[in-house]
Amino acid sequence: MPALESHVIVGAGAAGAKAAETLREEGFTGSVLLVGEEPGPPYARPPLSKEVLLGRADPESARLHEESWYRDRDITLMIDTAATALDRREHRVGLSDGSRLRYDRLLLATGSSPRRTRVPGTGLAGVHTLRTIDDARALHGLLSRGDRRVVVVGAGWIGLEAAAAARRYGNRVAVVEAEATPLYGTLGPEAGRIFADLHRGKGVECLFEDGLFAIRGEGGEGEVGHVVTSRGAELPADLVVLAVGGAPRDGLARAAGLRTDDGVVVDSALRTEDPDVFAAGDVARFYHPLYRRHLRVEHWANAIDGGAAAARSMLGRDVVHDRLPYRFTHQYEQAMEFSGRAEPGSYDRVLVRGDISAGSYLVFWLSAGRLTAALSVNTPGATGTLQSLIRSGVPVDPDALTEPRRPLAQLIPS
Ligand SMILES: Cc1cc2nc3c(=O)[nH]c(=O)nc-3n(C[C@H](O)[C@H](O)[C@H](O)COP(=O)(O)OP(=O)(O)OC[C@H]3O[C@@H](n4cnc5c(N)ncnc54)[C@H](O)[C@@H]3O)c2cc1C
């Protein structure tokens, strides 16, 4: 009788957990080992910068499943264990406890980590990043005091969410951003200005087209005292949140000779050039058939869909991972969903439906008359239609798009 196969997943986050679940759902009866360096079972990160920072949810409630859930499915969850080496010839993964795991198929789902900057002072007490449950717990404890002077460096999704949470408690908040508008690389300047107005309206001091020059300590205690910006502003600070983007954790793949390019390079079935090694989630730079190029997507839905797709691919099924990039965010009273791609240069027109000041509206990005991306704000249920419209690739009538009485579904070709 042939020996049962063994599939190993490195990285016990969203993508890894979903892949393990899918292997079982698809009827795989061999062993499934899910290896994660963090101390507990996999959890969702999106609540960390929202409900957890706002004190509305206990961090433990972000766990995807109890440990028993994994046992019930015969998934071996190896927490507190890092994969330290990958030997592709021997089909083995070296672990931090000195042991080696044999695999038939391996999934790299190692995620990303907050980008660091080399600016002086980032090692001072009071300088934080936000990635893990522990980060969120620590930040919540400080922000909830409500009397902190907080400087957020980086006006991306996580920086803006942290700024919103910090303001909710009444802290004094400044955001320092290199570009002229928030989320510039993702949404371009037009929608970025909407985010800038939103945060300014909530009392956030916005220092745009400025950068982090140094973080200075105070009183010789190794505590943060000031943030100095590139333009020379001196911002008093008790707390600094560094939110300057994520770096893929692709070191294991690179050391094993796999192709990396700011992420592990995979095809649309999430396969590396090694037929037994796959990658999914934040760490994967996958070929997206719709855009005809490789993309790395640091969003929750991509980790879940990608984890499931990678598992099927590991089992030899025909898989095309081609979901539209999609992200949700909550800032103040606004629940937002963004679909598609809208980086500067990818569109030639931006339109709005609804009333921005009333906090309920849609933003559309068009290229050559076709919808390439959309943001829905406090408009539940719009995303499915918007995604179909983006996918259809048909020219859309701008007047119909911006006319609130015209149902969006009517614009989708039948
Ligand atoms: C604070 C925060 C808020 C977010 N909010 C949103 C949101 O509102 N909407 C949205 O769409 N997305 C959001 N995201 C992004 C989303 O959470 C990520 O895209 C998603 O978690 C990626 O999942 P992943 O499994 O690829 O990586 P991860 O969740 O990072 O999991 C990877 C795991 O692998 C482990 N690991 C790494 N290397 C090794 C190794 N060598 N050995 C063992 N284990 C290893 C890591 O420690 C980690 O636990 C947010 C992210 C953060 C940090």
Which residues sit opposite 269 in a β-bridge? none
pLDDT band at 411 (very low <50, low <70, confident <90, very high): confident
> Does ligand 1 come within 6 angstroms of the Cβ of 158?
yes
CA 357 to chain centre: 28
Q: What pTM was computed for the model?
A: 0.96
pLDDT band at 222 (very low <50, low <70, confident <90, very high): confident
Q: Please report, as a single letter, which amino acid is at residue 114.
A: P
Distance 167 CA to ligand 1 centre (A): 25
**SS percent in the chain: helix, strand, coil, step 5:** 25, 30, 40
Q: Is the pLDDT of residue 101 over 50?
A: yes
Output the average pLDDT for the chain.
96
Domains of the chain by residue range = 6-47+60-113+247-314, 127-244, 335-411
Q: Is the pLDDT of residue 157 over 70?
A: yes
Coil/strand/helix, residue 398: helix
Percent of the chain with pLDDT over 90: 95
Could you read off the pLDDT of 58-86 as tens digits, one per residue?
999 999 999 999 999 999 999 999 999 99
Q: Please report, as a single letter, which amino acid is at residue 151.
A: V
> Does ligand 1 come within 6 angstroms of the Cβ of 159?
no
> Does ligand 1 come within 6 angstroms of the Cβ of 14?
yes
Q: Is the pLDDT of residue 100 over 90?
A: yes
Domain 6-47+60-113+247-314 annotated CATH 2.40.420.20: no
Mutate which of 63, 300, 323 for ligand 1? The one with the most ligand atoms within 8 Å of its CB, which is 300
Give the C-alpha separation, 344 to 400, whole Å: 24
Distance 335 CA to ligand 1 centre (A): 21
Read off the pLDDT of each residue in 246-254 and give the average, rounded to a whole number.
98
Q: What pLDDT does residue 3 have?
A: 66
Which of ligand 1's atoms lies nearest the C-alpha of 113?
30
> Does ligand 1 come within 6 angstroms of the Cβ of 13?
yes
For residue 293, count other CB atoms closer than 10 A to its CB: 9
Burial of 92 (C-beta count, 10 Å sphere; 0-12/13-18/19+): middle
Q: Is the pLDDT of residue 403 over 60?
A: yes
Mutate which of 81, 110, 330 for ligand 1? The one with the most ligand atoms within 8 Å of its CB, which is 110
Q: What pLDDT does residue 4 have?
A: 78
Q: What pLDDT does residue 2 have?
A: 53
Residue 33 contacts residue 101 (beta carbons within 8 Å): yes
Coil/strand/helix, residue 283: helix
Read off the pLDDT of each residue in 73-102 and give the average, rounded to a whole number.
98
Could you read off the pLDDT of 309-338 as tens digits, one per residue?
999 999 999 999 999 999 999 999 999 999
Q: What pLDDT does residue 102 have?
A: 97
Distance 282 CA to ligand 1 centre (A): 7
pLDDT band at 413 (very low <50, low <70, confident <90, very high): confident
> Does ligand 1 come within 6 angstroms of the Cβ of 270?
no
Q: What pLDDT does residue 414 have?
A: 72
Read off the pLDDT of each residue in 363-371 and give the average, rounded to a whole number.
97
pLDDT band at 221 (very low <50, low <70, confident <90, very high): low
Read off the pLDDT of each residue in 143-147 and give the average, rounded to a whole number.
96
Q: Is the pLDDT of residue 379 over 80?
A: yes
CATH topology of domain 127-244: FAD/NAD(P)-binding domain (3.50.50)
pLDDT band at 1 (very low <50, low <70, confident <90, very high): very low
Distance 14 CA to ligand 1 centre (A): 7
Topology match between the domains 6-47+60-113+247-314 and 127-244: yes
Coil/strand/helix, residue 12: coil
Which of ligand 1's atoms lies nearest the C-alpha of 302?
19
Q: Is the pLDDT of residue 219 over 80?
A: no
Distance 219 CA to ligand 1 centre (A): 36
Q: What pLDDT does residue 37 have?
A: 98
> Does ligand 1 come within 6 angstroms of the Cβ of 246?
no
Percent of the chain with pLDDT over 70: 99
Give the C-alpha separation, 41 to 61, whole Å: 11
Give the C-alpha separation, 111 to 11, whole Å: 7
Residue 302 contacts residue 11 (beta carbons within 8 Å): no
Cα–Cα distance list, 340 to 15, 38, 149 (Å)? 20, 32, 36
285: Cβ contacts below 8 Å, ≥ 6 apart = 248, 260, 261, 262, 263, 264, 265, 266, 294, 295, 296
CATH of domain 335-411: 3.30.390.30
Which of ligand 1's atoms lies nearest the C-alpha of 330?
8
Distance 407 CA to ligand 1 centre (A): 36
